[in-house]
């Protein structure tokens, strides 16, 4: 990682010569490092927020295909493709800042080992190791108390940063209707991982902070503060985009619900008007047949009335019968239907 360490070591060396004070050099260095990493940090934040939004749908897939990992993976890949989420790209942008930050700790530690500038910052000697037993009489002075507070502040800034990040990430977890899903956020994998990290990172910060020079804790503290500011800024920026998307999804869902409610109202009205569920056959063919029969009956009645007036006796034609026995469906049993086909004709 020399290609990372060399330019940053040069930057820290020049800042120390420019400021003449170790504390100010480390503060400016921490801020500049975060600004250099702003672009990959922004890409990582956007990717993580985009994946967080899919949490409810991911949980539904995992529940649906709990016993079939292959289908579960296929459904998740399809969801990512549909939403434009890239797993590989998201991991890359998340790892890039970490890969750069790790060598920088070595840069700071190496610089502290050879520093020859003023190491007293706000009355605290930054090259000394902070005392953890600060309440003893020998350490009850501001330089010792100040050095003791630096690891505590470093751990505290880590906790605050993770709490804010988790809370803001959870706020963008919405269901397919565009409504925030707090239950899905609570049970999400990232939320469970965040809880573990919330305990581990501050403890590690305290242990290392009381094992190395106070300058390292100052560097971590400033980084934590700047990280929190950047995280709040990026979350606010991307949440405006996602809030607009959620508003459209909610609007669409409400319109669909209104249409469905109107359909249900019409169905309820029909049920109220026809509680017995009796429906009339309104097919075009049936209507034509019914109309034809009415016309034929009217003609027959008119002819019969006319014949009666003239004294003419009209013999009524025998009623037509069909093979099926159903006048409206004469061929429902087939044109070749013969009820006596299998009857016993032998005497």
Q: Can you give the pLDDT of all 347 residues of the chain as single tens digits?
A: 677 778 888 888 888 888 888 889 889 988 988 888 888 888 888 877 777 777 777 778 888 888 878 888 888 888 777 777 766 555 666 666 667 777 777 787 777 777 777 888 888 888 888 887 777 656 678 888 888 889 899 888 888 888 887 777 777 676 666 666 666 566 666 666 666 777 788 888 888 888 888 888 888 899 889 988 988 888 888 888 877 877 777 788 788 888 888 888 888 888 787 776 656 555 667 767 777 877 777 777 777 776 676 666 656 656 556 555 556 565 565 555 566 655 555 54
Burial 41-78 (b: 16+ CB within 10 A, else e): bbbbbbbbbbbbbbbbbbbebeeebeeeeeebeebbee
Helix axes 214-273, 22-36, angle to 10 degrees: 30
Instruction: Look at residue 171 and tell me if it is in a domain.
Output: yes
Q: What is the pLDDT of residue 284?
A: 67
Beta strands at 124-125 and 120-121: parallel, antiparallel or unpaired: antiparallel
Instruction: Look at residue 68 and tell me if it is in a domain.
Output: yes
CA dihedral angle for residue 295, residue 301, residue 302, residue 305, rounded to 10 degrees: 180
- The structure's pTM equals 0.65
CB-based contact 1:22 (threshold 8 Å): no
The number of domains in the chain is 1
Instruction: Look at residue 74 and tell me if it is in a domain.
Output: yes
Q: What is the C-alpha to C-alpha distance for residues 176 and 249, in angstroms, rounded to an integer?
A: 7
Q: What is the pLDDT of residue 347?
A: 46
Q: What is the pLDDT of residue 312?
A: 66
Q: What is the pLDDT of residue 270?
A: 80
Q: What is the pLDDT of residue 122?
A: 87
Task: Please name the residues in contact with 127: beta carbons below 8 A apart, sequence gap of 6 or more.
Answer: 22, 112, 115, 119, 213, 214, 215
User: Where does residue 283 rank: exposed (0-12), middle (13-18), buried (19+ CB within 10 A)?
Assistant: exposed
Q: What is the pLDDT of residue 20?
A: 86
Which two three-digit tokens encode residue 157? 């800034």
Instruction: Look at residue 75 and tell me if it is in a domain.
Output: yes
Q: What is the C-alpha to C-alpha distance for residues 238 and 45, in angstroms, rounded to an integer?
A: 9
Q: What is the pLDDT of residue 183?
A: 63
Instruction: Look at residue 111 and tell me if it is in a domain.
Output: yes
Strand partners, 21: 118
Q: What is the C-alpha to C-alpha distance for residues 271 and 154, in angstroms, rounded to an integer?
A: 69
Instruction: Look at residue 22 and tell me if it is in a domain.
Output: yes
Count of CB atoms situated within 10 Å of the CB of 37: 19
Q: What is the pLDDT of residue 157?
A: 85
* Range(s) of the domain holding residue 133: 2-264
Q: What is the pLDDT of residue 327?
A: 60
Q: What is the pLDDT of residue 91?
A: 60
Instruction: Look at residue 273 and tell me if it is in a domain.
Output: no
SS3 state of residue 120: strand
Task: Please name the residues in contact with 145: beta carbons below 8 A apart, sequence gap of 6 or more.
Answer: 134, 139
SS3 state of residue 124: strand
Instruction: Look at residue 331 and tell me if it is in a domain.
Output: no
């Amino acid at each position: 990682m020399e290609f990372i360490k060399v330019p940053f070591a040069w930057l820290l060396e020049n800042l120390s010569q420019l400021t003449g004070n170790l504390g100010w050099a480390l503060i400016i260095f921490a801020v500049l490092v975060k600004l250099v990493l702003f672009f990959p940090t922004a890409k990582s934040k956007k990717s993580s927020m985009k994946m967080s939004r899919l949490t409810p749908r991911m949980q539904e897939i995992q529940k649906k295909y709990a016993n079939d990992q292959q289908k579960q993976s296929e459904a998740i890949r399809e969801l990512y493709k549909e939403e434009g989420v890239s797993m590989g790209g998201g991991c890359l942008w998340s790892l890039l800042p970490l890969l750069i930050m790790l060598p920088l700790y070595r840069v700071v530690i190496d610089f502290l080992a050879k520093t020859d500038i003023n190491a007293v910052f706000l009355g605290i000697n930054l090259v000394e190791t902070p005392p953890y037993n600060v309440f003893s009489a020998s350490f009850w002075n501001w330089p010792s108390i100040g050095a003791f507070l630096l690891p505590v502040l470093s751990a505290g800034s880590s906790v605050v940063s993770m709490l804010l990040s988790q809370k803001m990430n959870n706020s963008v977890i919405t269901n397919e209707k565009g409504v925030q899903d707090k239950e899905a956020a609570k049970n999400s994998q990232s939320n469970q991982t965040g809880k573990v990290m919330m305990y581990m990172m501050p403890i590690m910060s305290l242990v290392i902070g009381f094992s190395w020079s106070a300058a390292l804790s100052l560097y971590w503290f400033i980084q934590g503060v700047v990280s929190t500011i950047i995280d709040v800024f990026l979350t606010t920026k991307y949440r405006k985009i996602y809030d607009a998307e959620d508003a459209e999804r909610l609007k669409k869902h409400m319109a669909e619900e209104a249409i469905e409610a109107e359909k249900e109202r019409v169905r309820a009205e029909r049920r109220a008007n026809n509680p017995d569920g009796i429906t009339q056959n309104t097919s075009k063919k049936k209507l034509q047949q019914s109309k034809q029969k009415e016309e034929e009956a009217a003609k027959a009645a008119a002819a019969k009335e006319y014949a009666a007036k003239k004294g003419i006796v009209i013999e009524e034609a025998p009623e037509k019968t069909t093979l099926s026995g159903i006048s409206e469906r004469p061929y429902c049993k087939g044109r070749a239907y013969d009820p006596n086909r299998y009857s016993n004709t032998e005497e």
